Structure 1
Amino acid sequence: MCKTINSHFINGAWVQESKPAALYLKNPATGLDNITLMLASHELAETAIQSAHDAIPTWQQYSSNERAEFINNIVIELKKRRTPLIDSIVNELGCPREFTTEVQVDDPIDAFEQHVQWTKDIQHEQVIDENLTIYKEAIGVCSIITPWNYPLHQLIAKVAPALAAGCTMVVKPSEFTPTSALLLTQAIEAANLPKGVFNLVIGSGRDVGPVLTTHPLVKCISFIGSTAVGKHIQSVAAGSVKRVLLELGGKSPYLICPTTQLESAINLGIEDVMANSGQTCVALTRMFIHESQFEQAKQLAKQSASSLSVGDPDTKDTFMGPVINQNQLDNISSAVERAKNEGAEIIYGGNRIDQTGYYYQPTVITNLPHDAQLAQQEIFGPVLVLFKYKTIDEAIQLCNDTPYGLSARVWSDDTEQSKKLARKIDAGQVYINGAFWHNAAPFGGYKESGNGRELGPSAIEEFFEIKSIIV
């Protein structure tokens, strides 16, 4: 059954858009109508910004410990909504239920909970000597704009540190996955956060984006999305010299040194790229293998990709569901067809799956020049490209031969060697062997992958102004 959503949250109350434009969303697994979304207007966004501005004196009078208690109460309310959060992401994103439960819901709730202690630990005043005291003050109203691929996690990665710092905010989640944002808002409402501290508008970037990125009362923009849009936001925000925090695209490298554990290394790389149907900004979509093990790696990659279960996200043991919509499916298909025309060898996959919904095969490609478009540009799909190298120096050069620098992984039988190689790769995070995501690790990118950091205590620092008082 298709449901209608016309709910926005401003100044502590739910409001409806009086003359909305409608967006029709389909269930990615079935292609059937799922949600009719009534989008917010730029006028509603302006009202939300004013609400956030008016709430600054109230919110900033609370101590760090008091803000930590509010955050803890939000966590309690989120846990009560765990099941509907899981259901919403499965239905709107097509993400398999097991992955959704562990990665899309439980992990972000854990990240929010860790902010309780990090908020308590904030020191707003630092006495350097009898002549100098340094203060940290909340920057003010923040526009928080997040994407659809990890809808709850990427909301929490920005909302939690902004609240901890004492900022107020207007949040615009992706209009393609709105329900998890509504559930988060319900949790915030139930936690009795002061009115106006958190405001939610669900609208298109075209309609509400210009307001959120140029309004004079907005002092900070925190955005996750494509590099092209991030560059635009940085440009328009420059007119009023706003702080701009950007987590943008990635084309992350996976460097595999000659190893006695090649099968484990390859399986990890395949699963990393194919999880969430490849719709992950940190996916290790470029795999580099030493020439002595390259042919073996090709066979292992084919074996691993072919073993993945693709289908209904509600079917037990499904590893990979659909991509989010027809447009995404078309973009992935076009990118792979272009690579085929450039002479790429398709080791496995390379085609749409002929069934109801937006499904694409797990795809592994080789024999592609490193400057080819598919090797350089993020396509947000289940597509991995294999490259061979002769020397470690050549491998490092290839790893860094990209405009992006979001994430990377190094696999070696020698952990100390891995650490040394990790230091040479231009990326905000580098994983060693089988290491996985850590919610206390600052997350963000080098180069065109953005600036600023999310998660960990350092993320809270992004939302402060620093004031020095010299006597």
Structure 2
Amino acid sequence: MTSAQLGIFKVPDIDNEPMRSYGPGSPERKGLEEALAQMEEDMPFEVPCIVNGKPIKSGNVFQQKIPFDHARDLCYYHEANQKIITDAIDGALAAKEEWETLPWNDRAAIFLKAAELASGKYRYKLMAATILGQGKNAWQAEIDAAAELSDFFRFGVKFVEELYSQQPPKNSPGAWKNVFSRVEYRALEGFVLAVSPFNFTAIGGNLPGVPALVGNVVLWKPSPAATYSNYILYQLLEEAGVPPGVIQFVPGPPAEVVAQAISHPLFAGLHFTGSTAIFKKLWKDIAQNLDIYKGYPRIVGETGGKNFHVVHSSADVENAVFQTVRAAFEYQGQKCSALSRLYVSSSVWNAGGFKEKLLEQVARIKVGSPLKFDNFVGPVIHKASFDKILGYIEKAKAADGEILIGGTGDDSVGYFVQPTVILTKDPKSVTMVEEVFGPVLTVYVFEDSDYNSTLDLVDSTSQYALTGSIFASNRKVLVDSTNRLRNAAGNVYYNEKCTGAVVGQQPFGGARGSGTNDKAGSISIFYRFVSARSIKEGFVGLKEYEYPSNLM
């Protein structure tokens, strides 16, 4: 039953969550250290599926290991089975009408409260789980599990307020006067499947949060390597007031969970972040099921990247070096936006000192447990990732790539790969083309006179088009380069690193093999999870059926 709408409500002013420093002796470092110590004392945790607000234990148990100390388990979780998924879908559909018809101001209040919980009560707990389970250092965990998560919820509410306010600007004059038109933004008919990745706890909140905020019900399948932080996030949403059944928490085997969800007639949408190969397969599988669906499902995906920095001869060398180190090696290169292709003008690389400065800074990077605050690089997420990254380094060596620094790894305790810089003479060598998703940067040095043809290389080398940066002090170079690289990246930066898009400031997403470019962190993403309905009401009826042109 629809509740009365007794007023027009305005969302409070929204701003980005302030970052805390976690410097020595700071209260926030003390709070985080206490949360980490408590979590280490209490682990391993048991994580059930949550269906209709109730914990369900399937008995089919898997472990989430600590990637920097893989002998220890952070949690063990119950994988959803066929019956659990069936119950989750049925329960979500049963909860849909009440959730969709809940007044907008009440849905908004729930997510604004969730933002306050994420930035307050749950801040250090979420960060601790992200550090232990996903191997982030304190700063990266702060960016992700505290700031970006809060921003997604707060700005999401603001964007939906703007979406709902978009109404027809005009009603027909003359013969059609006394007519009133309006637009409703309905939830999709059915349920949405959200499949979230390991590398951002905030994405774990945003993927189910976006469709839920506009009245959809959601099955949420978290990444096995982020299960515990995502479970805490589910508890946060529950405390904020998300009703039972609206978001069903179903960890489990990706292929089985997804296959069952997308084979249901009321599957209405996919919100996905993960690999390009998996996303393409899901798209094909959904297409094969079109005849069974009640409608056409919305497919929204943010996938891989092979992101670039282009350093022109006019660039500020020191800035370009520091930005490059950050972009390539923060969070061990495990960001879809991470830098992996570096194109440097020969005059900058040699006489300009770029090579010397770059290697000097990379040599300074400390690698190790994120529990030690002075470590900049931590572990990669698991054994499969470790093996894949070292495999790419070996492929680069076999293709005559020169390892300038790094190139080694050690998985005896944790999955640590040393920050690696490869120099190649082949701009289409394997580590310039394929996504590595680790702390590996490949450099191609071009002659200053070949700048324009190098931009063509940047544009044509990779299947991806996610992020890229141009470093130059010449404004014409920046503009011309951007035009030439028009389709090479969905997020472009001038004299800034290619990572670090901020909600509400740089809408994030790319095209080509990098996804559907629906721009997380903006109003655009919300259009994909609503189905608009136009309503026209006449106040004065027609007196006859003939047109004025029929008159003689």
Report the TM range for the smaller structure's normalisation.
over 0.9
Partner of 2:346: 291
Deviation larger for 292-301 or 181-190: 292-301
Which structure 2 residues correspond to residues 177-196 of structure 1 after superposition, within 5 A? 177-196=226-245
Alignment partner of 1:408 out of 468, 471, 481: 468
Q: Distance in 2 between matches of 1:368 and 1:96?
A: 34
Equivalent residue, structure 2, for 1:71? 111
Alignment partners' CA distance in 1, 2:315 and 2:476:
16
How far does the alpha carbon of each residue in 1:338-376 deviate from its partner, in whole angstroms, 9 at most, with x for none?
110110011110111475211010000112522222211
**2:98 corresponds to:** 58
Deviations 1:108-166 (A, max 9, x none): 2222222232233232662343376544222141100011111x121233233212222
Q: CA deviation at 1:24?
A: 2.6
Q: 1:214/1:372 Cα in 2 relative to 1: closer, same or farther (>3 Å)?
A: farther
- Flag the 1:301–1:92 CA change in 2: closer, same or farther, 3 A: same
Q: Is the counterpart of residue 10 in structure 1 residue 60 in structure 2? A: no
Instruction: Using the TM superposition, give the Cα deviation of residue 234 of structure 1 relative to its aligned residue in structure 2, in angstroms.
Output: 0.3
Q: SS of 2:271's equivalent?
A: strand
Unpaired segments ≥5 residues, structure 2 = 1-40, 173-178, 291-295, 538-552
Q: CA–CA distance in 1 between the matches of 2:243 and 2:400?
A: 59
Alignment TM-score, normalising by the size of structure 1: 0.94
Larger Rg: 2
Question: Contact 1:133/1:469 (CA < 8 Å) preserved in 2?
Answer: yes
Of 269, 288, 291, the match for 1:220:
269
Structure 1: give runs of 5+ residues left out of the alignment.
none
1:31 matched to which residue of 2?
70
SS of 1:95 mapped into structure 2? coil
Give the corresponding residue for 1:437.
501
Paired amino acid for 2:85: A
| 1:49 and 1:218 in contact (8 A); partners too | no
Structure 1: how far apart are the matches of 2:104 and 2:237?
Answer: 17
1:243 aligns with 2:308: no
Give the secondary-structure state (helix, strand or coil) at the position aligned to 1:178: helix
The CA RMSD measured in Å over matched residues stands at 2.0
- Cα pair 2:464 2:511 within 8 Å, conserved: yes
Distance 1:368 1:143, change over 3 A: farther
**Quick one: which amino acid aligns to residue 53 of structure 1?**
L
1:117-132 matches, cutoff 5 A = 117-123=158-164, 126-127=167-168, 128-130=170-172
Q: Which residue of 1 aligns with 2:524?
A: 458
**2-structure distance, mates of 1:399, 1:405:** 10
Provide the C-alpha distance between the structure 1 equivalents of 2:477 and 2:276, rounded to a whole number of angstroms: 32
* % identity of equivalent residues: 24
Deviations 1:155-182 (A, max 9, x none): 2332332122221111111011111111
Distance 2:509 2:501 in 1: 13
Number of the residue aligned with 1:258: 313
CA drift at 1:421: 2.3
Q: TM-score, normalised by structure 2?
A: 0.81
Cα contact 2:343–2:443 (8 A) shared by 1: yes
Moved over 6 A (4+): none
Which residue of the partner structure matches residue 110 of structure 1?
151
The 1:120–1:65 alpha-carbon spacing in structure 2 relative to 1, beyond 3 Å, is farther
**1:424 matched to 2:463:** no
Query: Judging changes above 3 Å, is the alpha-carbon distance between structure 1 residues 394 and 196 closer, same or farther for their aligned structure 2 residues?
Result: same
Q: 1:320 to 1:434 in 2, by over 3 A?
A: same
Residue 229 of structure 2 aligns with an amino acid whose one-letter code is S
Aligned residues: 468
Q: Deviations over 1:32-73 (max 9, x none)?
A: 131322211132122112222122211111233222111112
Instruction: Give me the whole-angstrom Cα distance separating, in 2, the residues matched to 1:354 and 1:53.
Output: 45
Change (3 A) 1:431 1:326: same
175, 184, 209: which one aligns with 2:258: 209
